Amino acid sequence: MRWVLKIILFPIILLLSILIAFLKYIIRVSGMILGIISFLVFIGAVACFIQKDMATGIAALLLAFLISPYGLPKIALWITAYLEVAKDTLKEI
C-alpha cells in the first residue's frame, strides 16, 4: 500500500523539486539586482535628508530596506524553505 502512495506522489515531488530549484535561482539573481537597487535608493534617501526632506527620506529608507537582501528576498527564501520541508515530508511517506 505504501509503495502505491509513493508512485502517486512521485510527480508532485518531482514538480516541487523543479520548482524549488527554479525559485532558488530566481531568488539568487533577483537578490543581486535588488541589492544594487537598494544601495541606489539608500543614496537617494541620504540625499533627501541632506536637502531636509524628511518624509521622502524616511519613505526611501523603508523602501531600501524592503528590497535589500534582508527584506523581500529573505521572505522568499523563507517560503522556499517551507516548500522544501513539504517536499521532504512527502518523500518520507
Average predicted confidence (pLDDT) for the chain: 94
Q: Which amino acid would we find at residue 6?
A: K
Q: Contact, 63 vs 41, CB < 8 A? A: yes
Q: What's the pTM value of the predicted model, to 2 decimals? A: 0.78
pLDDT in tens, 2-16: 889 989 999 999 999
CA 24 to CA 26: how far, in whole Å? 6
- The set of cell numbers assigned to 25 is 535561482
Domain limits, the chain: 2-92
Nearest alpha-carbon partner for 17 in 72, 84, 68: 84
Higher-scoring residue by pLDDT: 63, 1? 63
Could you report the per-residue pLDDT of 72-85, keeping only the tens digit for each? Answer: 999 999 999 999 99
pLDDT above 90 for 1:
no
